[in-house]
Amino acid sequence: MALAGTAAFWTADEFADWRQAIAAEAAQTYTPRYFTPDEWRFLEAATEQLFPEDETGPGAKALGVVGFIDRQMDTSYGHGGLWFMSGPFQSGPANLGYQLPYAPREIYRIGIAGADQYCRDHYGHAFADLDHPTQIEALTAFEKLPIQFGETLAAGIFFEQLRTNTMEGAFSDPIHGGNRHLGGWVMLGFPGARADFMDWVDQYGPAYPLGSVSISGETA
C-alpha cells in the first residue's frame, strides 16, 4: 500500500491506515513514481547543493528530499490543483506572480530537461556529472540570470520551485516522506508534534529540552 503523498492521503480523514503504510514504506528502497532516472539523478545532485550535508546537519539526500518531491508530484498540488490554472496565460512583471500554464510536475519536466541541456551546452555534461563548484555555478546562473528553458519557462521559476520543494522536503513532517528520521527538525531544534508548551511558556532563556516527534509517533 503506497499512500504517502497520494491523492488518497490528502483527502483521508482517518490517518491510521497511511501511518502504517508509511512505516512499511520507510523500510524499503523508494521507487520513483513520476521522475525518470535522469530526472532523479539531476534532483539528487541539485537538492544536495541547495541543502548540503555539513557540520550543521544532514543534507537533502540523507533527508529523502527527492522522494518527498516525487510523492508531491502525485498530489493535487503536483497536478496544479491548488493554483488558478484558467487561461489566458499572459506574462507580466515578476511582482504580479506566476503566470505560466504549467503545474509543478510540468515545471520539473521542462525545467530539468532545460537545466541539463544548459549544462551540456556550457560545461559539456549533464548537471549530475559536473564537479561541485560547477554545479553551484550552474544553480547560481539559474537563480539569477535571465535564462530560458524551452519557449516560456524562466530558469528562475524552476529554481524557486526546486528550492521551495527542497525546503519542504527537509522540514515537513516525516509522514510526507522527507525529513527522514526527523533529521531536519533535530538540526533546527523544532520539537515537532509535541504542540503543548503550557509548562514552558514562561521559562525564559534555556533551550526547550524535549526532542522532536512526528505526527506518526516516530521520535528522533
Partner 1 sequence: MTTKNADAIVVGAGWAGSILAKELTEAGLKVVMLERGPDRATAVEGAYPDSIDELRGAIRHRLFQDLSRTTVTIRNKIGQTALPYRQLSAFLPGEGVGGAGLHWSGVHFRAAPDDLALRSNVIARYGQKFIPEGMNLQDYGVTYDELEPFFDKAEKVFGTSGEAYKINGKVVGNGNVFAPSRSDDFPLPPLKDVYTANLFRKAASDAGYHPYSLPAANASRQYTNPYGAQMGPCNFCGYCSGYDCYMYSKASPNVNILPVLRKDPNFTLITRAHVMRVDLDSTKTRATGVTYLDLDSNKEVTITADLVVLGAFQFHNVHLMLLSGIGKPYDAQKNEGVVGRNFVYQTITTSRAWLPENQFTNQFIGTGGGGVAIDDFNSMNFDHGPHGFVGGSPVWVNQAGVKPIAASTIGGGKDAPRWGAGYKKALVNTYRHAMAIDAHGSNMAYRDVFLDLDPTWKNTYGQPLLRMTFDWQDNDIRMNRYVVSQIEPIMKALGATKYELGMLEPGKPFDTRLYQTTHLGGGAVMGDDPNTSAINRYLQSWDVPNVFVIGSNAFPQGMGYNPTGMVAALAYWSAHHIRTTYLKSPGPLVRV
56 binds partner 1 (CB under 8 A): yes
- Scanning 108-116, 118-126, 150-158, 160-168 for contacts with partner 1 by CB under 8 A, the matching segment is 160-168
Considering only residues 4 to 23 of the shown chain, the ones binding partner 1 according to CB under 8 A are 10, 13, 15
Burial 64-97 (b: 16+ CB within 10 A, else e): bbbbbbbbbbbbebbbbeeeeeeeeeeeeeeeee
Nearest to 154 by CA among 163, 162, 143: 143
The piece of 23-31, 35-43, 74-82, 105-113 that touches partner 1 (CB under 8 A) is 74-82
DSSP string for 6-43: SHHHHH-S--HHHHHHHHHHHTS----SSS-HHHHHHH
Each residue 121-150 as x (binds partner 1 by CB under 8 A) or -, in order, gives ---------------x--x---x-------
**Residue 80 Cβ, how far from partner 1 at the closest point, in Å?**
8
- The single residue among 97, 121, 146, 151 that binds partner 1, judged by CB under 8 A, is 97
44 binds partner 1 (CB under 8 A): no
- Candidate list 90, 121, 146, 151; residue touching partner 1; CB under 8 A: 90
Phi then psi dihedrals of residue 51, to 5 deg: -135, 75
Contacts of 204 (CB under 8 A, 6+ apart): none
Query: What distance in Å separates the CA atoms of residue 138 and residue 114, rounded to the nearest whole number?
Result: 12
Distances 144 to 2, 47, 172 between C-alpha atoms, Å: 38, 17, 27
- With binding defined as CB under 8 A, does residue 78 bind partner 1? no
Contacting partner 1 (CB under 8 A), which of 98, 131, 145, 219? 98
Interface with partner 1 (CB under 8 A): 10, 13, 15, 49-52, 54, 56-57, 75, 77, 80-86, 88, 90, 92-99, 136, 139, 143, 163, 166-168, 170-173, 175-176, 184-185, 187-191, 193, 195-198, 200-208, 215
